[in-house]
């Protein structure tokens, strides 16, 4: 008894064909384009462009400083950080209590000293502290209505001494920065 299995018949294979002849593939970089441009008579624009690129590269590498009138920020070297100025907390009595109620911790203020003089009298206001950070705004005392309000500012020690002296001789006001 013989059995034949049709599923094991030989697979049909296509006839071999020849590979067509073709030129080798060449990858072209920037150099052949430059050479071709120079050969075709576009030498002047190509040379000018190359000279301009070289001049800009040299000028940018040589000058690390911003030019006058430039809006570019100056680079700060991370190797030498600016020395930290020790800050102290200075309690300051501001003449206008309503202005102090507008302040919150973290606000930046300028403190202005105006001499105790009648309106229209002599004396000029001056800036005593600039950019001082508000540390604390204590609750106002309700005892004296015209006493102003207290605010605690974080300032350098020298500015704290100036604020204390100005608070004795002048009326102080703040401007929120």
Residue 34 pLDDT greater than 70, yes or no: no
Kindly compute the dihedral angle of the four CA atoms of residues 133, 136, 142, 145, in this order, to the nearest 10 degrees.
-10
Q: Tell me the per-residue pLDDT of 69-117, one tens digit each, with 9 for 90 and over.
A: 555 555 555 566 667 778 999 999 999 888 898 999 999 999 999 887 6
Give me the residue spans of the domains in the chain: 31-59, 87-176
Q: How confident is the model at residue 62, as a pLDDT?
A: 54
The rounded distance, in Å, linking the Cα atoms of 138 and 78 is: 38
Q: How confident is the model at residue 38, as a pLDDT?
A: 62
Q: How confident is the model at residue 112, as a pLDDT?
A: 93
Average pLDDT of 15-22?
80
Cα–Cα nearest to 111, from 98, 95, 135: 95
Bridge partners of residue 170, in order along the sequence: 115
pLDDT, greater one: 45 or 177: 177
The pLDDT-based confidence of 60 (bands split at 50, 70, 90) is low
Contact of 172 with 115, CB cutoff 8 Å: no
**% of the chain residues with pLDDT over 70:** 63
């Amino acid at each position: 008894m013989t059995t034949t299995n049709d599923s094991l018949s030989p697979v049909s294979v296509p006839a071999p064909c020849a590979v067509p002849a073709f030129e080798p593939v060449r990858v072209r970089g920037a150099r052949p384009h430059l050479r071709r441009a120079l050969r075709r008579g576009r030498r002047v624009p190509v040379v000018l462009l190359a000279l301009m690129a070289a001049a800009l590269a040299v000028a940018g590498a040589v000058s690390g400083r911003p030019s006058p009138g430039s809006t570019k920020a100056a680079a700060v070297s991370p190797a030498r950080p600016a020395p930290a100025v020790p800050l102290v907390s200075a309690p300051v009595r501001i003449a206008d209590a309503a202005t102090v109620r507008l302040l919150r911790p973290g606000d930046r203020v300028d403190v202005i000293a105006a001499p105790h003089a009648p309106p229209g009298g002599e004396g000029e206001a001056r800036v005593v502290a600039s950019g001082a950070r508000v540390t604390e705004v204590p609750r106002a005392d309700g005892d004296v209505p015209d006493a102003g309000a207290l605010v605690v500012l974080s300032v350098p020690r020298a500015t704290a001494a100036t604020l204390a002296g100005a608070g004795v001789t002048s009326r102080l006001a703040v401007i929120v920065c």
